[in-house]
Structure 1
Amino acid sequence: MSDRPDFDPSTLVIHSNRSYEKQSNSILFPIHQTATYIHESVGVTKGYGYTRGANPTVNALEQAIAAVEGTASALCFRSGMSAITTLCFGLLKAGDHVLLSDVIYGGTARLFHQVLGHFGVAYDFVDTASVEATEKAIRPETRLLFLETPANPTLKISDVRALSDMAHRHENILVAVDNTFLTPLLQNCLELGADISMMSTTKYIDGHNATLGGSLATHDEANTERLRFVRKIIGSIQAPFDSWLALQGIKTLPARLAMHCNHAMQIAEWLEKHAHVARVNYPGLESFPQHALAAKQQKGFGGMMSFELKATTEQTLHFIEALKLCTCAESLGSVETLVTHPATASHCDMPLEERDRLGITDRLIRLSVGLESPKDLIADLEQAFKAIFG
């Protein structure tokens, strides 16, 4: 059940849960760039004591994110990875077991491989596109199923409702979803049955490559307070200025997402017909293996895609370098179109054999389609093809 007002998304992101500053009636909530707060008397505050615990500007962004998530509250963090780290520190203990999507952001994999494993948290990667395979991988000590859908960078889809129903038939398993690629406006994973929604707000929530941030949202207020406590202890709260900038970005989220989806579809259709493209991973294409599931589970196909060239690794790298309008840079979800080479960036730590098995080959290119004219983006891609292949 959603707690959101019955607003269309474009109204929701501007007005729902909106906070106002009372002293001057500024239409923009101000930046509370402060480390500490004056006590009205000993032990008496206005709800804020130290910014490591809470900050009014951060809270304003949390209210805005809660509005789109449909939850009573939300929590914001220094980055998407700090949100995932806080989630794990707050809800797991030594001896617990976690199942993760086999195709997942490289930073999430590194967190488990190089950090959490040292604290006695066991984990396995499983093909969460298969409910049956996921259920077979569950252990008595499994406490968390962490999904990323669509997955980075192959866009593989996991059925959130089916997996959540399956996990909840077992005792004490929570389902968390990295929803960075779509946001709740295109895929509300809590309404689909997941327990926790996670986003890197650096991406589509901000939308302008201006901030680092992450968020967690859940209907379980006890878990929210536990995560709030752990965030305070480890100091992973988002910075006030980053929160203020993200507050401005979220107001245009529905308009931007509509353009991202529209532009991405045009480019995916063009790439699919290109002689030098072996395959295009975009859920909006009917040729995408899980197109029907994406259409059922999502309210749009998003701005993310990847495509594999009919080329050598060297030619693939030269193709990326030949692009002029599409910018080679890490991250995604911004107004600028960004291109990355997952094999040497986000998934560089993964062994070659494992990458190839998952479809993350040396010839795979990830494209975060921005708000530039699709005609101009296609022209840029075409000139890069001609530069490499003639």
Structure 2
Amino acid sequence: MRKKTQLIHGGITGDEKTGAVSVPIYQVSTYEQDGVGKHRGYEYSRTGNPTRFALEELIKELEGGHRGFAFGSGMAAITAVLMTFDKGDHVIFTDDVYGGTYRMVSKVINRFGLEASFVDTSDVDTVEAAVQANTKAIYVETPTNPLLKITDLKRVSELARAKGLTLIVDNTFSTPYWQNPIDLGADIVLHSATKYLGGHSDVVAGLVVVNSEELAEAVHFVLNSTGGILGPQDSWLLMRGIKTLGIRMEEIEANTKEFVSFLEGLPEVTKIYYPGLSSHKGSDIHHAQARGNGGMISFDVGSGEKADKVLRNVRYFTLAESLGAVESLISVPAMMTHASIPEDRRAELGITDGLIRVSIGLEDIEDLKEDFLAALRA
């Protein structure tokens, strides 16, 4: 089954009892049992819900994994995965990881004794050098947020296997339409499904796919114990969004390429980060492991003052701390999504005050170009 067909016909489709072509919303908390301990697959909706299960089966198939799980947010999904490790364990993270992930790891999960190092995972030798006796996992974003750095998933997965480590990949930017990390050796794939998978700025969700029953049992135990589940209404909305993921990603890809070409002609733009450019570091690796470049672009306009001027004057770019929606979004990572990262650390990574991140949507690309140019030169 090809991807576009799988988006619509994957997982559990329709309802056998009524013939409904859409999975019903099971707005229910508990289920009648036929006898003590004899249920019909469901006993309590924290443990499992038919609508949520349909979504979990869909993302499992899309990522080519063993089992899927749906959480109340991307951060809930990341937290649950990290809670499968023990006190004293060590995890290696991509250095310019999403600011919320950095905050949670450095200020919350560390309270429970999980140790972390943040390194440039695009350099596999650097990753190997960071492995300690207590290292249990490598956590990768590729492309990263916001500098779109590329990690060679095959090489990192080979390292992980050689060292007996779990490879965790945040696949939010590429989505399973463009990239499938499990096929490249990952053990766990994460999504902030709020973004491209939902696609319409109307649902907050997180998804996890694992490649083994052992990992499935570990993640489900945390999910059931801590209760960070996705509700049936949001599960249904997310399945509806996923059905159009293919056509959205292809149109966004076309718009993004044209917008990047437009940015290349602007003297005010000093640096562009986009894996679709041959000059982008790791572009060849990205194209070997992904089928598309996505809709994220970061670029530097020289100063925080210039960036602020752009944000104050755009009309069709929505100033917001999200991405992957039908509407184009714009932000300054240093002041927004990555403000939780210390200033000296941002400077070290290259997340300058003049760095703008845009998520290209489905508007007419000529309107987006005209809007940005007018804001830049207002």
Same fold (TM over 0.5): yes
5+ residue gaps in structure 2? none
- 1:290 corresponds in structure 2 to 282
- 1:130 corresponds in structure 2 to 123
Moved beyond 4 Å, runs of 4+: none
The CA distance in 2 between the partners of 1:183 and 1:245, in whole Å, is 17
- 1:4 corresponds in structure 2 to none
- 2:98 corresponds in structure 1 to 105
Is this contact kept in 2: 1:13–1:67, CA < 8 A? no
5+ residue gaps in structure 1? 1-6
**Residue 153 of structure 1, aligned match among 141, 146, 149:** 146
Q: How far is 1:136 from its partner?
A: 0.4
TM-score when normalising by structure 2: 0.98
Is this contact kept in 1: 2:88–2:134, CA < 8 A? yes
| Count of paired positions | 378
Kindly provide the CA deviation profile for residues 16-57 of structure 1, in whole angstroms up to 9, marking residues without a partner as x: 223322332111111111111112233221111111111000
- 2:42 corresponds in structure 1 to 48
The CA distance in 2 between the partners of 1:358 and 1:273, in whole Å, is 26
Q: How far is 1:258 from its partner?
A: 0.5
**Residue 353 of structure 2, aligned match among 358, 362, 368:** 362
The CA distance in 2 between the partners of 1:244 and 1:194, in whole Å, is 27
Please show how residues 290-369 of structure 1 align to structure 2 within 5 Å: 290-310=282-302, 312-369=303-360
Is it true that 1:374 corresponds to 2:365 in the alignment? yes
Q: Matched residue of 1:370: which SS?
A: coil
Q: How far is 1:194 from its partner?
A: 1.0
Kindly provide the CA deviation profile for residues 261-283 of structure 1, in whole angstroms up to 9, marking residues without a partner as x: 11111101111220110011110
The CA distance in 2 between the partners of 1:327 and 1:116, in whole Å, is 32
Please show how residues 147-186 of structure 1 align to structure 2 within 5 Å: 147-171=140-164, 173-186=165-178
Higher mean C-alpha deviation, range 33-42 or range 16-25 = 16-25
- 2:186 corresponds in structure 1 to 194
The CA distance in 2 between the partners of 1:117 and 1:351, in whole Å, is 17
Is it true that 1:230 corresponds to 2:222 in the alignment? yes
- 1:3 corresponds in structure 2 to none
Is this contact kept in 1: 2:273–2:280, CA < 8 A? yes
The CA distance in 2 between the partners of 1:131 and 1:42, in whole Å, is 53
Is this contact kept in 1: 2:274–2:297, CA < 8 A? yes
Q: How far is 1:164 from its partner?
A: 0.9
**Residue 95 of structure 1, aligned match among 77, 81, 88:** 88
TM-score when normalising by structure 1: 0.95
Q: Matched residue of 1:49: which SS?
A: coil
Root mean square deviation, CA, Å? 1.0
Kindly provide the CA deviation profile for residues 344-378 of structure 1, in whole angstroms up to 9, marking residues without a partner as x: 11111222222122111000011000011111110
